[in-house]
Amino acid sequence: MKQRKIGTSPVSAIGLGCMNYAHGYGNGLDDRDAADLLLKALDLGYTHFDTATMYGAGRSERILGDTLSARRSEFFLASKCVLYPGPNGQGREIDGRPERIKAACEDSLKRLKTDVIDLYYQHRLDPNVPIEESAGAFADLIRQGKIRSYGLSEISAETLRRAHAVNPVAALQSEYSLWTRNPEIATLEACAELGVTFVAFSPLGRKFLSGKLSLTDVEAPAAGDMRASMPRFEPQTYARNLALLDGYRAIAEDVGCSMAELAIAWVLSRGEHVVAIPGTANPEHLAENARADEVVLTPEILARLDALINERTVLGPRYNPAQQADVETEDFAPA
């Protein structure tokens, strides 16, 4: 797989988001199947694995550590803290206090069965803790050799600059795809200016852009599927968004690739400082996503894609008000 960089470390341009097998969409895997998925990813050329304490309340980290610790030198390991399951597993809490970040890192190191995490993110901004204080905690962890670099997730360009002034930020992670364009407001440019890698999660639009999520799937979601609370996946709205896929499917056919490959290739076309981390619990989709590395998009194809699916043509916000309250990413003004 083609390589790009996070900091000074080469990583596969397409990494693996390690949420789906343990958390989020109601279709997680048992430990054995999740381990098989991780091993297959490594054998396919994925060298960037992205997990978090939040994913399955530590389960994603534990499975990754149990499975890949013996091959630790073969991949770049990223995890996240600050966002945690709430009391008794209900809801979630955000805690960016330096002492909590440092304690969380110790717990992650144990679950991941490693001495050092290559990239450790602040998963969400804590509105009660200045970003400079949280950034200072990550800087301490770097000096102690427990992490090699740190990143931020779902934050604004302004907050990125403030954290970067305390200690250089290696990566900024946010949702980015044809149907979620918020990073184009400010953070993509800020990352390029500061030498920060932009890590795009959900490059497939939470499966929408793969063409594999039907209206029936949305009308009867699996228990625990977070999309059920997202406005774009409300059945009537989703039915209208599905109309975009007719033209999108035609473009994929013209390019000679699958719809999923096309979506990931579009994200990678945004700049050499951009990497993608699609998640999946399906081994066939894992291999399909990796093939996006080979897709070349011409300026004409990029123009067709940009005109077809964008912030003006997609219906519905990406998050409901409660979810949106936890993110600081810039948002488009209402139409």
pLDDT in tens, 114-171: 999 999 999 999 999 999 999 999 999 999 999 999 999 999 999 999 999 999 999 9
Structural domain includes residue 117 = yes
pLDDT surpassing 80 at residue 19: yes
Span 76-93, mean pLDDT? 89
Structural domain includes residue 227 = no
Encoded tokens for 120: 């450790």
Structural domain includes residue 230 = no
pLDDT band of residue 27 (cuts 50, 70, 90) is confident
Structural domain includes residue 250 = no
Collapsed DSSP state (helix, strand, coil) of residue 95: coil
Span 49-70, mean pLDDT? 97
Catalytic residue among 21, 25, 46, 55: 55
Q: Is 238 a catalytic residue?
A: no
pLDDT surpassing 80 at residue 227: yes
Number of structural domains found in the chain: 1
Structural domain includes residue 300 = no
CA atoms of 289 and 282, how far apart (whole Å)? 11
CA atoms of 188 and 200, how far apart (whole Å)? 10
CA neighbor of 76 nearest in space, from 19, 145, 143, 149: 149
- Residue 124 sits in a domain whose CATH number is 3.20.20.100
CA angle 272, 309, 184 (to 5 degrees): 40
Q: Which domain holds residue 11?
A: 3-207+261-295
Structural domain includes residue 289 = yes
CA atoms of 306 and 309, how far apart (whole Å)? 6
Structural domain includes residue 330 = no
pLDDT of residue 280: 96
Collapsed DSSP state (helix, strand, coil) of residue 151: strand
Q: Are 122 and 151 in contact (CB under 8 A)?
A: yes
CA atoms of 125 and 123, how far apart (whole Å)? 7
Structural domain includes residue 238 = no
201 Cβ contact list (under 8 Å, min separation 6): 17, 50, 173, 174, 175, 176, 277, 279
* Residue of 266 and 24 predicted with greater confidence: 266
pLDDT surpassing 70 at residue 335: no
CA atoms of 292 and 259, how far apart (whole Å)? 10
pLDDT of residue 208: 98
pLDDT surpassing 70 at residue 174: yes
CA atoms of 156 and 172, how far apart (whole Å)? 10
